[in-house]
Structure 1
Amino acid sequence: MSYYEYYIIFLALIFCGYACYTDIKTQKIRNICSFGLLYAGVLSQLMAWFLGTTTPLYIIGLFFGSGFVGFALYWFGIFSPGDSKLFWGLCLILPPPLFRLLSGIISFPPLILTLNIIIPYTIGILGFLLFKFVFIRHKLRIISSSIIPNLQKEILLGQIFNLLLLVGIGSTITYIAGFFAWEINRPLQIGLVLTTFILVRILLSKIRKTTTSYAVIGFACIWVSLNVSTSISGFVYSFAVFLGIYFFIFIIAKQLVLGLAMLLVKDVDIANLQIGMIPAEQIVERKHKDGSIYYEKRQVTFSSGITGNIIVTPSATGLSKETITELQKLVEQGAFTEYGNQIKIQPDICFAPVITVGVLLTVLCQGPFYLQFIQLF
């Protein structure tokens, strides 16, 4: 790379440093930083076009693609609006020659940066939770309380449906990759399948699930998988692989992590809630058979089986002034007396430093960091 491209990388790191400073100090990333980075990123891409290292079509695809990924990460509740704009700008400002050794979809900067942010962050969080788990008492109680709820009839039906959905999505992505001759390595393919699966689950959560919908969608997923597989043995093998992935990630690991994550949350009096605090649970308005209203707390779920009005749910933007006022009015009515008039709040996590770590990994590894580890073995 040229001195100019090293300068662009250095400029990106300066923006990251300023974002980290403001995020840690004020819990916000100022617009002057995020929009300034977007402006610098666009100029950087135009200069790369002038130097002949990129094309107008690539710039357009990168601009809208990175914006879409940033919005998706916000929509999933991973990023705040400021984090999303910071991510968008970083995808634009990184010089194209940085990824000259890569080809195909794996060379797309938003994908690279996402992998280098999410994977280390997930590993770090899981490592911290396991460290906490080692030093707590009643380990078996936490494990049993995380797994036993999944043995209920309705939940088991939902788990079977989700498994069939995962198989169908995995088969579809495998077929599309083969049809377009995309060379996708196994870890990336699994990540793409899981990401698509989570996205589809969120979209389906808007639809009330019935026995008919379970049957129709489940049958469609099996039909797709059978048509994609070249033989029955191939279908059985792929089904077994997805069964293992689903059982480990979405049943064992998910429930255990949710149980361990409760060690990090804190109970806060509703009277002391502040704007921007992120709840760690949902509060749903329900009705008894006699029509009387009560409020129920529950873990966050993508299931559409929730009936009633969701009053509070975790979001990247946190609690608004209106939501806090509504909760405080409900407290006055005695709606949360059985919960001690408290709500569980997530710990404050500044994501700008996490994004900065992802940028450093991207620059040092010139692509997804895990590829460097694979080469070591």
Structure 2
Amino acid sequence: MIYLDEDDVVEITRERVQVFGLDGQPVERSLHESELSADAVERGEYRHYMQKEIFEQPRAVADTLESRLGPHGVLPNIFGVGGDELLAKVRGVHIIACGTSYHAGLVAKYWIEEFARLPVAVEVASEYRYREAVVPEGTLFVAISQSGETADTLAAMRESRRRGYLGTLAICNVPESSVVREADLKLMTRAGPEIGVASTKAFTTQLAALALLCLQLARQRGLDDGRYAELCAQLQALPQTIGRALALEPQIVELAAHFIPRHHALFLGRGAQFPVALEGSLKLKEISYIHAEAYPAGELKHGPLALVDEDMPVVAVAPNGPLLDKLKSNLQEVRARGGELIVFADSAAPMDGNAARGHLLRIDAGGEFIAPAVFTVPLQLLAYHVAVLRGTDVDQPRNLAKSVTVE
């Protein structure tokens, strides 16, 4: 493989591959040997690449954490040479991304603000690059991109240089991509090739990488030793916890049948599970072509409740935590309007079957910190099996591309 620089021009003939600069002069670019195995790009026993990639998540997350999270916490300089020193100076964080990566950034906002006590702003790259954002002193710019070539994210990172950021951090899956090459710091997600257009393992590995960033920032700012150890232990166990969530596939296949005659769906979540609801909604609309929206459950009475009737399935993410009772109250509002509830609840959450009108699926979330990554998995499976039952092109949904490299 040859990785090109910005504005390179390539001439390919039977005899050779020649790279030129914009001035028309030949330039030298390094040749890299691909480390991909045949197994990595074949479906194997799976019906679709998306299904394969969903089930690869325990391994992908484990690879992302390997040699970065040890028995005593986050290891030194995993973000690059001088990374720990730069992160120690951070006084705020701006996260810029698109699509699924944006949802990962939203989860990170909840994490970093709670545990590191730093202000975090998350913005869609296509909006950020066209407005004059205020950048407080000591702000870290974080770009999240699976491909590292997302046009808006790359342009936003380049724009960030003139706005006075402390530094830039790339969270990406492609080591030689433009975003990685141009960032001050980087953390690779190690998801491996993701062929299905709808992102799955890229999302959970982004969450794993962002969790490492959160833990590093929190530790530097005096997070209690006991709490830090507890969060690290949850993250260490994330691959196994995701594996247990994948075992719920047979029950999710049954739930998927309820969506076949439907044209709309509503997803609800609170706190760090709201971005998970957004991601579940995006997956369903991407590959099944069912119109889906996601809202913070507390916003139900501010408009979305008007949509709820017996033809509207409402999917709720219900982790065990301080907001559970609030969410249960929201679910009662849906029941009172005849909506069909499908609730994914933490196995430790006190919730009876009546709360979900019979559609209650229990999940071992493994702890409040990693719960967003775990609850994402059944929502991916739900979207996948709805799409299969509807007969859509799961791996290549209409009108979409894997990497959006143009505006």
**Could you say which TM-score interval applies, normalised by the shorter chain?**
under 0.3
RCO (CA 8 Å, sep 6+): is it higher in 1 or 2?
Answer: 1
User: Which protein shows a greater Rg?
Assistant: 1
Q: Which has the higher strand share?
A: 2
Q: Which has the higher helix share?
A: 1
Give the alignment's TM-score, normalised by structure 2: 0.24
Give the alignment's TM-score, normalised by structure 1: 0.25
